[in-house]
Each structure stands twice: as C-alpha cells, then as structure tokens.
Amino acid sequence: MINNEAQAESYDVQQNAVEFAGSTWKHTNSQWEGDRYVLVYFNIDFSQHDRWRGLHGPDHRTEEARAAPLLTRPVCTPIHTASIECVELRQQLLNHIHQVEFLNRPQLKYQNQKSEIILFGECTQPYHVKERHPCKGNDLYPALHALLKQYVDYIMQKPVSHTYSSILLAKNSKCNWHLDKQNVGSSVITALGDYTGGELLVNHMKSYPLFECLACHMKYLPLRSCRLEKNHTTPDWIPQVWEMVKSGKIVLDANTTTRKILKRVQKK
C-alpha cells in the first residue's frame, strides 16, 4: 500500500495494550519468531444500513461506539509484565490457549492463507440479517473467555471488557496491510507468547473514511465520488444521523429511507 511502510509507526504489543482505529487506519504486523498469540478486543458493526435505505436498523450499542470521539493516533498503555499478577494471568491464558482447536480459514487480510483464529463474545452470521449472535468460542472455552475479559481489564487498568462486543484470538497469523471495515470505534490489541518481533505497524497519518458524508448521502453519491472526486473531508453520515436520533430531531422508520425522513424534517 502506497506510503504505509514509510508513514507507519511501530508498537510493541507484547509490552503494551494499544488502542487504535483499525477500521480507518491501515495496519499490519512485522515478522516474528516463535509462537505469537494476538488478542484483539473490538466492536462489530451490528447496525443495518446501506447507501440506498440509509440507517434502517440501528443497533444502539454499535451506534454509541461509532459516535465516540475519534482517536488522532494510537494510544499505548504499558503492561506491568514483571508483576506477579500479570505473570500468573498470562500463564493461565497460555495454559488455556494451548488447549484451543483454532478455526482454519483463508482470508485476504491474512495473505489469503489459512489463519488460526477463534472468536469470543458476539458476532454476525453470514447470509443472515445482521444481528448479534453468540460466538462459538463462548461455549467451547468458557473459562478462557472469562480470562480474556479479566486480562483486558487488568492491562487497561480499568473495567473495559464490557465495552467491546467481540474478542479475536489469533495464533501466528501474518496479515497484509488492511482495514477492519466491519468494526466500529477503536479496538485494543495486545499479544503474548514466547516470541520476538511481531510489532503492530499502524499508518495513522492517513485515515480512510468508511462512508460518504451526509450531503453526498442525500444525493445518492457513493463513497468514491464523495471522498476521491470531490475531496470531501466532512464526517461520515451515520454518526450525524444517529446524533439527530438521540436528540429527538428525527425518528427512524425501517420502511422509510433516511433521506425521506430527513427531507420531511427539513421542510418543517
């Protein structure tokens, strides 16, 4: 990806918990040696929306996460790796992780090779209406799920596990430069295991909007026209619509496009 290598900054996710905007900043990982286990705490986009109908099925928690203030750069929280509590927590995690049968599936962001991953928390189901479903990892490894939530609360030095819908556990998965386009808000990433290298590389200098601005959405103009052809830098349309919903200015209707609802309000 153009300029990503030159503009990216490196973050040691073994010694830090790194909060970053993976949905709008291109990121990857550097090479490593050894077994590397990555933990990513994030929010999936559970809202139903598209360019034609607008925001026709909002998920409250999703939209609150999307509306949170945007990060301007990654934020590192050092992990007290030498403390007895941290050593014990990490060892417990590794003991449980070693018992996991990871899912193996090819994905483009993992260089189209099979990645060893498993999800916990909530997820969507392919070819179904977008809504919250429990991940398989919850029932398969309940003790590990509880430890993963306990661990992020510990390393972030405050209770944050309840603010994320999902947890990704990945083993030795090398990814390309990519965006996590199905995520909303910021994510927390950290890693453990007996390995060297494997830093997180993030290009936060260039942000990629996921949606067109509100003015272009009202005109049915696509993202490419809004951001590339017209060079609009105003915010994405969905958070703006959600703010109107919260303030009571508009009431969404699944059978009416967001555009029509907004036009009706503008005429009053």
Q: What are the tokens at 205?
A: 């200098």
Beta bridge partners of 119: 168
Do 56 and 134 lie in a common domain? Answer: yes
Do 138 and 250 lie in a common domain? Answer: no
3 pLDDT band, cuts 50/70/90, is low
205 pLDDT band, cuts 50/70/90, is very high
Look-up of token digits 């290298």? 197
Domain that holds residue 226: 214-267
Single residue among 176, 207, 238 that ends a domain in this structure:
207
Q: Which of 2, 6, 56 is nearest to 201 (CA)?
A: 6
Do 239 and 163 lie in a common domain? Answer: no
**AA letter at 267:** K
Single residue among 207, 231, 246 that ends a domain in this structure:
207
Q: Which of 107, 98, 102, 138 is nearest to 120 (CA)?
A: 138
Amino acid 174: pLDDT: 87
Do 261 and 238 lie in a common domain? Answer: yes
Query: In whole angstroms, what is the distance from residue 148 CA to residue 163 CA?
Result: 14
Q: Which of 186, 154, 168 is nearest to 121 (CA)?
A: 168
* Domain assignment of residue 184, yes or no: yes
Amino acid 145: pLDDT: 98
* Domain assignment of residue 250, yes or no: yes
Q: Is the pLDDT of residue 268 over 80?
A: no
Amino acid 115: pLDDT: 78
Beta bridge partners of 18: 76, 189
Q: Is the pLDDT of residue 33 over 80?
A: yes
Do 197 and 239 lie in a common domain? Answer: no
Sign of the CA dihedral with 103 first, then 187, 109, and 54 last: positive
What lies within 8 Å, CB to CB, of 22 at 6+ separation is: 40, 42, 179, 180, 183, 186, 187, 189
Q: Which of 194, 201, 88, 199 is nearest to 151 (CA)?
A: 88
Do 87 and 128 lie in a common domain? Answer: yes
Single residue among 174, 190, 207 that ends a domain in this structure:
207
Do 161 and 234 lie in a common domain? Answer: no
* Domain assignment of residue 3, yes or no: no
Q: Is the pLDDT of residue 1 over 90?
A: no
Amino acid 26: pLDDT: 95
Q: Number of structural domains, the chain?
A: 2
Amino acid 175: pLDDT: 87
* Domain assignment of residue 128, yes or no: yes
* Domain assignment of residue 1, yes or no: no
Do 230 and 155 lie in a common domain? Answer: no
Do 64 and 148 lie in a common domain? Answer: yes
Sign of the CA dihedral with 229 first, then 235, 236, and 238 last: negative
Q: Note whether 104 and 114 are within 8 A (CB).
A: yes
3-state SS, 190-207, equals EEECCEEECCEEEEEEEE
Do 140 and 181 lie in a common domain? Answer: yes
Do 18 and 49 lie in a common domain? Answer: yes
For 88-144, how does the pLDDT look when each residue is reduced to its tens digit (9 = 90+)? Answer: 999 999 999 999 999 876 665 655 566 799 999 999 998 888 999 999 999 999 999
> What's the mean pLDDT in 41-63?
96
Amino acid 4: pLDDT: 77
Rounded CA Rg of the chain: 20
Tell me the average pLDDT of the chain: 93
Do 116 and 80 lie in a common domain? Answer: yes
> What's the mean pLDDT in 227-255?
95
Query: In whole angstroms, what is the distance from residue 41 CA to residue 168 CA?
Result: 7
Share of the chain above pLDDT 70, in %: 95
Amino acid 114: pLDDT: 63
267 pLDDT band, cuts 50/70/90, is confident
